[in-house]
Amino acid sequence: MRTPYVLIVGCGRLGSHLANLLSAQAHRVVVIDRNEAAFARLSAESFSGFRVVGDASEPAVLRKAGIEKSDLLITATHEDNLNLMVALVAKRVFAVPHVMARVYDPARERLYHDLGVETVCPTLVAAEHFFDLLSRAAGSGGGAK
Amino acid sequence: MKAILVGAGRPLYFLAQTFRRKDHAVTLIVRDAAESSWLANQSDATVVHGDGSNDRVLEDAGARSADLVLAATANDADNLIICQQARARFAVPRAVALVNDPDNQAIFAALGVDAISPSMTVASLVEQWATCDRVTHLVPAGNGKVTISEVTLGDSFAFAGRPIAELGFPRDALIAVVMRDAETLVPRGDTKLQRGDRVLLVALAESHGLALQLLTGGG
């Protein structure tokens, strides 16, 4: 099988972490960030992909990063709207097979789910996780409280 | 008409004034707190302070009963999301985004959002004025796909006295009206144009340049 080509938009904590992980798993990874200094988060040992400095809301930047041949695109900048826009553009204009967006605002997540973008909302994920832990603690504690 | 304008600074102020002068009801959504109070003092539009891409802020601004939302921030992604929220959540009949990167005009269109590129519009206007000072009243229509302009035929018009059919006009360009002295006529293929005629040219954007060239320089 061909090596998957992965485009990651935003090289913050989440973006760089994913980039390091996927690159270490032999994916071809390209990371886009507006700020060149953000690439310092990429690991010297595990990351062997490419870095593109630019604003992902500009189609020319996406093309330069190889969006046309991407198998997977993940948006992980700190701006919800930018994450959603790039995800929509990737899915609907460039027909990238798998597209995922990090979205902070749960209300916005719903809208984009309806528009066909797969989203991960850290707030909801954390809330569910805490809720699981709570119910497990309540279960094993036999209602000690 | 009830319009919601989202943006910042003096461009938003002047947009608001222009809409107000035409007696439209205008609500502004402004992200920066200091700026929103400045705008509230400067203009007689209603000002809502907040993030225009947030559905609750749009609702506060009256999106449910708005006829138009214009997203004119400096950020293309914000403008896209504002328009999509307006359409999807509040069924606003018309949502228009300004795009800073001209490449995004086609991208937004593919995503179902009408977009205007100010830099493209200004550039093409300036280009047309620079190449030919005989063009007046240039009006973009049909979402920028159509251009309507008034052209005066000067000395360099090479087809004077010959029927319009012989001009070799592009298929998607049309001379809609000819104004000659006090007379106004709707021309046909056999109408003969003269120097000094003013013509109303309607053309698709891609043919506008060629049509203008034929009318002003003879090509």
Give the Cα separation of A128 and B195 in Å (integer).
Answer: 77
> Counting beta carbons within 10 angstroms of the beta carbon of residue B10, is it exposed (0 to 12), middle (13 to 18) or buried (19 or more)?
exposed
Best mutation target, A57, A86, A103, to test chain B (most B CBs within 10 A): A57
**Residue percentage of chain B with pLDDT more than 90:** 58
- In this predicted structure, the answer to whether residue B219 has a pLDDT above a threshold of 60 is no
For residue B28, the surrounding DSSP H or E stretch is strand B25-30
- Count CA atoms closer than 13 A to A84's CA, side-chain side: 31
For position B132, what pLDDT does the model report? 62
Residue A89 in contact with partner chain B when CB distance is under 8 A: yes
| Residue B126 contacts residue B106 (beta carbons within 8 Å) | no
- The percentage of residues in chain A with a pLDDT greater than 90, rounded to a whole number, is 76
The pLDDT value given to residue A141: 59
Q: What ipTM, to 2 d.p.? A: 0.84
d(CA B199, CA A4): 58
Examine the pLDDT at B124 and tell me if it is beyond 90. Answer: no
Cβ distance B76 to A84 less than 8 Å, yes or no, reads: no
pLDDT of the residue at B137: 66
Closest chain A residue to B84, measured at CA = A111
Residue type, B89: R
| Span A26-33, average pLDDT | 96
A–B CB contacts, 8 A cutoff, strictly below = 57
- Name the residue with higher pLDDT: A36 or B213: A36
A86 contact B CB<8A? yes
pLDDT tens by residue, B29-73: 999 999 999 999 988 899 999 999 999 999 999 999 999 999 999
Nearest C-alpha neighbor of A77 from the set A41, A109, A104, A106:
A104
Inter-chain residue contact B85 with A58, CB threshold 8 Å: no
Q: What is the pLDDT of residues A64-109, one digit of tens each?
A: 999 999 999 999 999 999 999 999 999 999 999 999 999 998 878 7
Sign of CA dihedral B145, B151, B155, B161: positive
pLDDT(B190) > 60: yes
Tokens standing for residue B129: 């004025």
Are A102 and A76 spatial neighbours (Cβ–Cβ below 8 Å)?
Answer: yes
Q: Is the pLDDT of residue B218 over 70?
A: no
CB atoms under 10 Å from CB of B53, counted, come to 29
**A105 neighbors A92 (Cβ within 8 angstroms):** no
Flag if B111 and A89 touch (Cβ within 8 Å). Answer: yes
pLDDT digits 0-9 by tens, B130-153: 666 677 767 777 766 888 888 888
R_g of chain A, CA atoms, integer Å: 17
CA distance A82 to chain B (A): 5
Q: Which pLDDT value is given to residue B43?
A: 86
Residue type, A25: Q
Q: Find the mean pLDDT for residues B188-194.
A: 91
Look at A79 and B77 and tell me if their CB atoms are within 8 Å.
Answer: yes
Under a CB-based contact definition with an 8 Å cutoff, are residues B74 and B97 in contact? no
Rounded to whole angstroms, the Cα distance separating B194 from B58 reads 55
Cα gap A12→A87, rounded to integer Å: 17
Q: Of A90, A46, A85, whose CA–CA distance to A68 is shortest?
A: A90
